[in-house]
A and B are shown apart, each in its own frame.
Chain A
């Protein structure tokens, strides 16, 4: 057992250790009902992180997700009256389109993804501000309940939110491990040059990866909007850092090629447990991002594949 062979197991070991520590700190943490609520609460973040996993898996990053979620909260709130549940389709299309544009800019115009997605994020943010007139909008309660109330019901004692998350996870996992697209993603992430020399359409794979990231961010935004029954251009602020943390502590390194959506599920649970711990330890809400910033740096430093960087980091 060397450090290298142990590395893939770090995420769940970390999760286990944290759960035990937090449980010791506050045994009520293990109360099934409360735990389920805690998990349901983190579903929008999980969905966003799951999408982001695709961008990071190919060695890129998607910094636009938080702003995409923001614009979707506004769109969903504004157009709920016109389209009802159909607003979900619009939301997902918006996310997909924004992601695809980021992907196109990255692959065809050779703008690194951290810049292209950052820029697209600001485009989305500005759209959200424009559309909402910089006001916090709220949904009509009956309309909301008619179209999306089911999201917050329970089925056989399980919150529907969790079930949605699990279905999306199963879908994403299937996409990643059982389809030609998923295999291409792995090839691009693990050895892009070899993928090119094997005749894969690498650009297409990357564009779709960013589009999926955008679509998942939109779903996250929609759920969050319905949950809070409203939308504004800053509603989803605070999601971005946590989503990146969830992907990286889950074990998908910035260099890509390993990890995946199941890792991100574990990573999201780690984020959840850390958040719970901070509540128990009475860490002020304003200080939480400090902790996650440091966790993020530690996670990157631990997971990154240095052999791929060839000693050059800029």
Chain B
């Protein structure tokens, strides 16, 4: 019924989708899996009309269609339930459900609120949510909002002739186990009304719910498996393209570290609203990984170490010195380097060249009396371009034009060339292709060998396990468990997940 044929999509420097064939039948639930950066989200954006493909055709019941925007896709029955919820929290549930489509309730130029509320109630009944549609959305739990979001998409049923396709993007990531069960039951019941495309990181859930599963890797569909034949191991293998082995995370290069003179030391540190009573030590040559779900306090701890956040209680020591004034300038001065998750926004300055980006944190080293020694800056940049194999025509190139992996190398070069020996990595491999990821892993090992201490928030649990010497599991800002992770004695995925949720 809904079909994509040989869809291609390019971005500057990236071939994001390579000749994708994809179809979904009436009442079918199709799973979509792949690593970060495999092209799942690009594919979804093509499906719901946020991106226009460069090549290939999209057809519904054999008729070719082309969507300029999500609204046009909606008019053809394609709806999206967003991972980051798209409800406006200060509107009522009913207002949210019909946001942008109030016209049908307008009588004499004003909205007939009674009719709108009644219609909203009917939509909520579809998702078996028994709440008053006139309450403000902010009062709902996350799970309830997710269902409202689904109810909102299901209004397409009345508006559109023909079949519905509903995309569910990571719908379970914030739900408890029972809530997930309820959602799945609901989705199964709703297959009489719509087809679903289900995207999730949780392999077991995808296997449980989907009739067929598309496996993506590097912008391609590498396999389509029916539920009956699906096995977690084989799918994972196809997603990564090889066995996730020791080689991948450079475990053979993982060395032990000195357990004296910690670089960073947290003692019962709390930050109101994000984490409580956290203690740990980071030593030279150690990779300490903070593991937890979104909002478990991982990022806030990184920001506190760097100096961007001020803790509300507890003692933070950097290289033996107790910190009283928290700001990023003194963090940098003490040798801390921060590689943020939002590489394009916080990592590099778009519009500045490679060499300008590399010296931005250490301009004092390349200036006398405030006057820059640009020749020396460029020499530094050339040396690090060479050292890290950064693919750029020259050091004058605008950083915005580099690929993600090369941008990340520029960010790392910035800190390493300035002599930082405490490096905070927040999702350093997010959105990178496999080769670039391996480069980052290689650099992590290299930095450890040079005596750098690293605090890592990893993109995947496998990455966390593979890279780290020590793992701290957090949940809702609370310390849960600590694991040692020397090669040969690493915790398993299950060990970690068990404490995370």
Q: What residues of chain A have their CB less than 8 Å away from a CB belonging to chain B?
A: 178-181, 183-184, 186-187, 190-191, 193-201, 257-258
Contacts and interface: CB of A to CB of B under 8 A. Distances in A.
A7 to B, nearest CB: 13
A182 to B, nearest CB: 8
Contacts of B348: 191, 194
Interface in B317-356: 328-329, 331-333, 338, 340, 342, 345-352, 356
Secondary structure of the A contact surface, majority rule? helix
A183 to B, nearest CB: 6
Interface string B389-427: 000000000000000000000000010000000000000
B180 interface: no
Interface string B282-310: 00000000000000000000000010100
Nearest to B398: A190
Nearest to A182: B372
Given A178-B371, A183-B359, A186-B351, 15 more contacts: A179-B370, A183-B356, A183-B372, A186-B352, A186-B356, A187-B352, A187-B360, A190-B349, A193-B342, A194-B347, A196-B308, A196-B328, A197-B340, A197-B346, A199-B328
Contact of B349 (A180, A187, A201): A187
Given A178-B371, A186-B352, A200 B360 contact: yes
A284 to B, nearest CB: 42
A184 B345 CA distance: 16
A191 B349 contact: yes
Given A186-B356, A191-B351, A197-B346, A180 B367 contact: yes
B363 interface: yes
A195 B331 CA distance: 14
Contacts of B363: 180, 183-184
B352 A190 contact: yes
Contacts of B371: 178-180
A179 B361 contact: no
Query: 3 tightest CB-CB pairs across the interface, nearest first?
Result: A199-B332, A191-B349, A190-B351
B162 interface: no
Interface of B: 306, 308, 328-329, 331-333, 338, 340, 342, 345-352, 356, 359-361, 363-364, 367, 370-372, 374, 414
A183 B360 contact: yes
A194 B346 contact: yes
A194 B345 contact: yes
Given A183-B363, A186-B356, A200-B329, A195 B349 contact: yes
Contacts of B332: 198-199
Contacts, number: 77
22 contacts: A179-B367, A180-B370, A180-B371, A181-B370, A183-B363, A186-B349, A186-B351, A186-B356, A187-B349, A187-B356, A191-B345, A194-B348, A195-B360, A196-B328, A197-B306, A197-B328, A197-B340, A197-B347, A198-B332, A199-B329, A199-B331, A199-B332
Given A196-B308, A199-B361, A191 B340 contact: no
A263 to B, nearest CB: 15
A82 B492 CA distance: 82
B345 A193 contact: yes
A181 B350 CA distance: 18
Contacts of B347: 194, 197
Nearest to A184: B363
A178 B367 CA distance: 9
Nearest to A186: B352
Contacts of A183: 356, 359-360, 363, 372
B349 to A, nearest CB: 4
Contacts of A200: 328-329, 360-361
B350 A190 contact: yes
A191 B342 contact: no
B372 A179 contact: yes
Nearest to A198: B361
B362 to A, nearest CB: 9
Contacts of A198: 328, 332, 360-361, 414
A92 B433 CA distance: 55
B352 A191 contact: yes
A183 B348 CA distance: 14
A184 B364 CA distance: 11
A19 to B, nearest CB: 30
Contacts of B346: 193-194, 196-197
A302 B352 CA distance: 22
A28 to B, nearest CB: 43
Nearest to A257: B351
Contacts of A191: 345, 348-352
Contacts of A199: 328-329, 331-333, 361
A200 to B, nearest CB: 7
B252 to A, nearest CB: 33
A107 to B, nearest CB: 13
A258 B353 CA distance: 12
Nearest to A307: B350
Contacts of B361: 198-200
A92 to B, nearest CB: 20
Between A178, A183, A195, A196, the greatest number of chain B beta carbons within 10 A of the residue's beta carbon is seen for: A183
Nearest to B367: A180
B209 to A, nearest CB: 34
Given A197-B338, A197-B340, A200-B329, A180 B364 contact: yes
A200 B360 CA distance: 8
Contacts of B331: 199
A201 B307 CA distance: 12
A180 B366 CA distance: 9
A200 B328 CA distance: 7
A101 B413 CA distance: 37
Nearest to A197: B346
Nearest to A190: B351
A194 B333 CA distance: 17
A191 B340 CA distance: 14
Nearest to B303: A197
A9 to B, nearest CB: 17
A207 B370 CA distance: 17
Contacts of A186: 349, 351-352, 356
A181 to B, nearest CB: 6
